Structure 1
Amino acid sequence: MFVLTASFLFATPQRATAEELLKARLAQNLGPISGLTIVANAKGIFARQGLDISVSNFTSGKQCLDTVLGGGADIATTAEAPVTAAAMAQQPIAFVAGMEYSDLKTMTAASAGIKTKADLRGKRIAFTAGTGSEVYTSVLLKAAGLTSKDVTLVNLRPQEMLPAMAAGSIDAFDTWEPHVANAKKALGEGAIPLETKGLYSETFNIVVTQSYLAANPAIVSKFLASLIEAEGWLKAHPDDAIDVIATATGMKRDELASIWPDYVYRVRLDDRILTTLKTHAAWRLETGNHPPGASMPDFSRVLVTAPLKTLDPARVTLEARP
């Protein structure tokens, strides 16, 4: 059971003057996984909700959360991997909403001859440490009947994977879109996606620090209200949403349109999020990828339901005990 420790006041949003807007700094992973924050910013929804949001863009959710924890931003878009790492390190984070989930993918070099998961044996596989890419890689190897000792793992940032494959220094890489689509576009027949659909879905979420939430409940409330409004607009205008997100991320419109069904946008706190967090934390404990002395986090101290539940109770459907 969650204890609501703060009061949140909400009013019908009205047009605010520049002087009245509440300021906040967003650390955003600039990709379609951040589609709702991209839309909220591009369509003026943040301002309509009374916010002045300055955006700093990064290439991973880990960088976003690290920036927030370091004081360089107030709000992070991030996946479950950085969340579990922070929770196990006893960082005072507040997970206030999920906003998207989508499958991670594997792209292979045609020259590597990888036709099935088992063909990954002996290959050089790129991943991004500290992100969902690392967990996905572990799950992929397990599904292939392999361990990390059966392959050569190469830690790269997502934007480094395509150049590495083009140079022939890796045989495959595990990451999120749009990096997989970008590789296919750049390498053509030289890049072949490996079938892994449904193997691992990464969530993308909104996280702040506990102290920021306590000091700025109105900002967090307005931010989540903005995402809910952006979700409604995105679903009502999918073609326009593709235009907006493609422009913001530098993707070709047709390339984003081809993978658009991969992205499931919904502002929520549900059992899928909790299960993903627990699965990820269990993986950390099994592999030793955690701070010394860490144990399974008490996610009732991490997942904070009050802001979203006050806005729309139907979006909070946690039934399992955190």
Structure 2
Amino acid sequence: MAARPRAWALMLAAALLLALLPGCERADDAPLAPSGRPESLVIALTPYAGAAPAFVALAEGFFEREGLTVTVQRHPSGKAALDAVLEGKADLATVAELPVALAAVRGHPVTILATLSTQSDHAIVGRTDLGVGSPESLKGKRIGVSAGTSGDFMLDVMLVRQRLSRADVRVVDRKPQELAGALASGEVDAIATWEPYIDDARRQLGDRAAVFPSDGVYDSSFNLAALRRFALQRGETARRVLAALQRAEQLLARDPAACEPIVARSLGKAPGETRQLLARSRFALTLEQHLLVVLEDEGRWALKNRVATAAQAPNFLDAVYLDGLAAVKPRAVTIIR
């Protein structure tokens, strides 16, 4: 009979060892939902492949398993989603880093809870029949852009690469979903935008489209953001949201084919097109030092170009909330406090 207690002790030790191994923060079949009534929150989502972890978490019930009841708002851009948070209409937003940088410069107490994905999916799309056949041919052209978005920042970066500035082009402000139509109608000669609007423009123009990707010039991140008071007052809620998103990240890595239909429905795209969009994104919940560097660069750009005004640049450490992700995925937090 002495062998049985020893066997149980060995099994217990093995289980504890597995729980401590890297990548074993949570088991997929572990009970997650806390006791008590579900907590409600509103997430402002964007029809963008970079938000795929949120789409998957919703469809697979990962938020519910964390004791959360989520109401979804749909917005055409991350900037619009973040505006909903700033106006008190939503608790969380999926958004690129630039609108967060601009909001911080303007004095709004915004903070990023985690980066969901990074991608190289921005580009300038021009019409060859209107004289846009190369990046240097943008001089003197009308360029459509959504002011205050990552496309706005990317346009300046691309112009600088050609030794041009905004004074050398005519910028036309349009909503993200209006850009492809403005280019097709001839209202503008080129647009600076991101997927899926690049594909929309290419599809409408056919062989008249000239596409200049931002690869190697600008890579964007897509993030989960909130007001700072949400992170400070509802820290446990933030942790549960991130735990649900981590499970979605793991499913995207383990079984991308199962996630494609979920994302396709969320984007309103065909499965094949969705597969291409997902392939351009790298999904991993992180808070990396590079994010802080990019926020600071974008803050300086905004002040220099009067995209936003302030007496001085903010401390962008206030624009990232480390404790939530550190509790769920500690090795993913590399920002130096």
Aligned counterparts, 1:124-139, within 5 A: 124-139=142-157
- Aligned equivalents of 1:45 and 1:297: distance in 2? 35
The residue identity in structure 2 corresponding to 1:138 is D
- 1:40 aligns to what? 57
Structure 1 counterpart of 2:179: 161
Distance of 1:106 and 1:51 partners within structure 2: 40
Structural mapping, 1:1-322, within 5 Å: 13-15=31-33, 20-103=37-120, 104-293=122-311, 295-319=312-336
1:15 Cα deviation (Å)? 4.8
Query: Residues of 2 paired with 1:258 and 1:94: CA distance?
Result: 30
Counterpart Cα distance in 1 of 2:267 and 2:55: 9
Distance in 2 of aligned mates of 1:261 and 1:37: 17
- State the Cα distance separating 1:16 from its structure 2 match: 6.7
> What is the identity, as a one-letter code, of the residue corresponding to 1:264?
R
Q: Are the aligned partners of 2:127 and 2:133 in contact in 1 as well (CA < 8 Å)?
A: no
Distance across 2 between alignment mates of 1:105 and 1:230:
28
Contact 1:62-1:130 at 8 Å conserved across structures:
yes
Q: Which runs of 5+ in 2 are unaligned?
A: 1-25
**C-alpha contact (below 8 Å) 1:69/1:209 kept by paired residues:** yes
Do 2:49 and 2:277's aligned partners in 1 also have CA atoms closer than 8 Å? Answer: no
Please provide the CA RMSD for this pair. 1.9
- Tell me the TM-score normalized by structure 1: 0.91
Deviation for aligned residue 1:216: 1.6
Aligned counterparts of 2:275 and 2:264: Cα–Cα separation in 1: 9
Counterpart of 2:77 in structure 1: which amino acid?
S
Q: Answer with 1 or 2: which has the greater Rg.
A: 2
Q: CA deviation at 1:260?
A: 2.7
For 1:285 and 1:154, locate their aligned partners in 2 and report how far apart those are by CA, in whole Å. 20
Given the superposition, is the C-alpha separation of residues 195 and 64 from structure 1 closer, same or farther in structure 2, using an over 3 Å criterion?
Answer: closer
Pairwise CA distance, 1:24:
0.5
Identity within the alignment, %: 29
Structure 1: stretches of 5+ with no match in the other structure: 1-9
CA distance in 2, matches of 1:142, 1:286: 14
Alignment partners' CA distance in 1, 2:202 and 2:229: 43
Is the Cα–Cα contact under 8 Å of residues 95 and 302 in structure 1 kept in the other structure? Answer: yes
Residues 19-45 of structure 1: CA deviation (Å, up to 9, x unaligned): 722110001112112111111111111
How far is the alpha carbon of 1:308 from its aligned partner? 0.7
Normalised to the residue count of structure 2, the TM-score between the two structures is 0.87
Change (3 A) 1:63 1:39: same
Q: What code does the residue aligned with 1:98 have?
A: T
Deviations 1:224-272 (A, max 9, x none): 1111110000111112222211111101111222333211111110022
